[in-house]
Chain A
Amino acid sequence: EAGVTQFPSHSVIEKGQTVTLRCDPISGHDNLYWYRRVMGKEIKFLLHFVKESKQDESGMPNNRFLAERTGGTYSTLKVQPAELEDSGVYFCASSQVKGRLSEQYFGPGTRLTVT
């Protein structure tokens, strides 16, 4: 079974440009989460999808960030326009609905550098 995949693995863009990150969750996982780790700080939650619906987007920093999950499969996170403080590692995670543990499986992350 394939794990959570993220694309690209690295992205270097200039301030003001647009970047779109993609996450493909594990097949059959309805829950999809985006997290971000800014250098030296804790990993922070951005938002949570259940299928194609946004369950919780309380962690989205501002309206420059737009997340979508069309059809309840893969998700994209667009940053437009990017700012220097958006640099960090963006993680995607997915989990099944059922099960006591419902462990969140993480992707390898996308390292975003805004210059």
Chain B
Amino acid sequence: AQKITQTQPGMFVQEKEAVTLDCTYDTSDPSYGLFWYKQPSSGEMIFLIYQGSYDQQNATEGRYSLNFQKARKSANLVISASQLGDSAMYFCAMRHGFQKLVFGTGTRLLVSP
């Protein structure tokens, strides 16, 4: 069965510091995609970054990078130089092909000045 686990219900970080949000996954399918979404207080879901299971390099998108450790089945999100606007819920998700996204329970990140 496909499952995403996010063990950190809440994280705190100071502005300009880096933070790592944990995500582990479980699947028996060798082909899958891993996603991170941000949900600010306004409610919309914002796509941040994607990692394919066959990608050799870790994905990066600006201040976001995905620390992909396939053998450990982990896909942690690293946010460098945190900003106040990064305060939000962050969801890790997995997908096979064009199928549904399977989400974790989310991590609430609070960035303090």
Contacts and interface: CB of A to CB of B under 8 A. Distances in A.
Q: Which of B45, B46, B91 has the most CB of A within 10 A?
A: B45
A101 B52 CA distance: 8
A51 to B, nearest CB: 12
14 contacts: A33-B101, A42-B105, A44-B103, A48-B99, A50-B98, A95-B98, A97-B98, A100-B52, A101-B52, A103-B47, A104-B95, A104-B101, A108-B43, A109-B45
A7 B99 CA distance: 24
A107 B37 CA distance: 13
Q: Which of B98, B99, B102, B104 has the most CB of A within 10 A?
A: B98
Given A41-B105, A42-B103, A42-B105, A106 B98 contact: no
Interface in A82-107: 89, 91, 93, 95, 97, 100-107
B50 interface: yes
B44 interface: yes
A56 interface: yes
Interface residues on B, range: 20 to 34
Interface of B: 4, 33, 35, 37, 42-47, 50, 52, 91, 93, 95, 98-106
Contact of B37 (A45, A56, A106, A108): A106
A56 B99 contact: yes
A111 interface: yes
Contact of B45 (A41, A101, A102, A106): A106
Contact of B100 (A33, A89, A105, A106): A33
Contact of A42 (B42, B43, B98, B106): B106
B98 A108 contact: no
A95 B101 CA distance: 12
